[in-house]
A and B are shown apart, each in its own frame.
Chain A
Amino acid sequence: MYGYVRPVKGELLVREYEEFRSVYCGLCHTLKHRYGFAARFILNYDFTFLAMLLSPEGETVCRELRRCAVSPIRKKVCRAICGELELAADISVILAYYRIKDALSDNGFFRTIPIRPAAWCVSLMRKRAIKYRPEYDRYVYGYLKELNTLEKENCDSIDKVADCFAKCLSVAASEAGTGPRERVISQILYHLGRVIYILDAYDDLQEDLKAGRYNAVSTRYFADGIIDDDEKEQLRSTIFDSLTIILADFELLGKNTYTTIITNIIRLGLPQTVEAVLDGTYEPAKRREIR
Chain B
Amino acid sequence: MKDPYSVLGVSAYADDEDIKKAYRELVRKYHPDNYHDNPLEDLAEEKMKEINEAYDAINAERSAGYSSSTYGSSRARYGYTRQDSGQSARQNSSTSNNVYLRVRQAINSGDLATADRLLSTIQTRDAEWNFLMGSLCYRKGWLDEARRYYLAAVKMDPGNMEYRQAASYMDMQGSFYRPARPGMTSNDACSCCSTLIAADCCCECLGGDLISCC
CB of A238 within 8 Å of the partner chain? yes
Task: Give per-residue flags for B154-175: 1 if the beta carbon is below 8 A from chain A beta carbons, else 0.
Answer: 0000000000000000100110
| Contact-size category for A | 20 to 34
CB of B140 within 8 Å of the partner chain? yes
Chain B residues whose C-beta falls within 8 Å of the C-beta of A190 in the assembled complex: 141
CB of B145 within 8 Å of the partner chain? yes
A268: min CB distance to chain B, Å:
6
Closest to A263 in B: B180
CB of A240 within 8 Å of the partner chain? yes
17 A-B pairs within 8 Å (CB atoms) are namely: A11-B181, A159-B142, A163-B140, A163-B142, A180-B43, A183-B43, A187-B40, A187-B141, A194-B143, A238-B143, A241-B147, A242-B143, A243-B177, A248-B38, A248-B173, A248-B176, A271-B177
Chain B residues whose C-beta falls within 8 Å of the C-beta of A176 in the assembled complex: none
Q: A184-B43, A237-B174, A268-B179 are in contact. Are A163 and B34 (CB under 8 A)?
A: no
In the complex the two chains form, is A244's CB within 8 Å of B176's CB?
Answer: yes
CB of A220 within 8 Å of the partner chain? yes
Task: Give per-residue flags for B16-49: 1 if the beta carbon is below 8 A from chain A beta carbons, else 0.
Answer: 0000000000000110001100111001100100
In the complex the two chains form, is B141's CB within 8 Å of A194's CB?
Answer: yes
Residue with the highest number of chain A CB atoms closer than 10 Å, among B43, B47, B140, B179: B43
In the complex the two chains form, is B180's CB within 8 Å of A191's CB?
Answer: no
In the complex the two chains form, is A248's CB within 8 Å of B180's CB?
Answer: no
Partner of A183, one of B40, B179, B181: B40
Closest to B145 in A: A159
CB of B137 within 8 Å of the partner chain? yes
Closest to B175 in A: A244
Closest to B140 in A: A163
CB of A124 within 8 Å of the partner chain? no
CB of A130 within 8 Å of the partner chain? no
CB of B188 within 8 Å of the partner chain? no
CB of A264 within 8 Å of the partner chain? yes
In the complex the two chains form, is B180's CB within 8 Å of A241's CB?
Answer: no
CB of B144 within 8 Å of the partner chain? yes
A272: min CB distance to chain B, Å:
11
A255: min CB distance to chain B, Å:
9
B169: min CB distance to chain A, Å:
10
In the complex the two chains form, is A267's CB within 8 Å of B180's CB?
Answer: yes
Closest to A181 in B: B43
Chain A residues whose C-beta falls within 8 Å of the C-beta of B179 in the assembled complex: 267-268
CB of A121 within 8 Å of the partner chain? no
Chain B residues whose C-beta falls within 8 Å of the C-beta of A157 in the assembled complex: 142, 144-145
Chain B residues whose C-beta falls within 8 Å of the C-beta of A163 in the assembled complex: 140-142
CA of A39 to CA of B159, assembled, Å: 59
Residue with the highest number of chain A CB atoms closer than 10 Å, among B35, B142, B143, B144: B144
Chain B residues whose C-beta falls within 8 Å of the C-beta of A160 in the assembled complex: 142
Chain B residues whose C-beta falls within 8 Å of the C-beta of A240 in the assembled complex: 174, 177
CB of A115 within 8 Å of the partner chain? no
B181: min CB distance to chain A, Å:
7
CA of A220 to CA of B174, assembled, Å: 21
In the complex the two chains form, is A241's CB within 8 Å of B170's CB?
Answer: yes
Chain A residues whose C-beta falls within 8 Å of the C-beta of B43 in the assembled complex: 180, 183-184, 252
CA of A84 to CA of B82, assembled, Å: 39
Closest to A183 in B: B40
CA of A237 to CA of B142, assembled, Å: 13
B67: min CB distance to chain A, Å:
36
CA of A157 to CA of B34, assembled, Å: 26
CA of A104 to CA of B43, assembled, Å: 43
Chain A residues whose C-beta falls within 8 Å of the C-beta of B180 in the assembled complex: 11, 263-264, 267-268
Closest to A187 in B: B40
Chain B residues whose C-beta falls within 8 Å of the C-beta of A264 in the assembled complex: 180
CB of A68 within 8 Å of the partner chain? no
In the complex the two chains form, is B40's CB within 8 Å of A252's CB?
Answer: yes
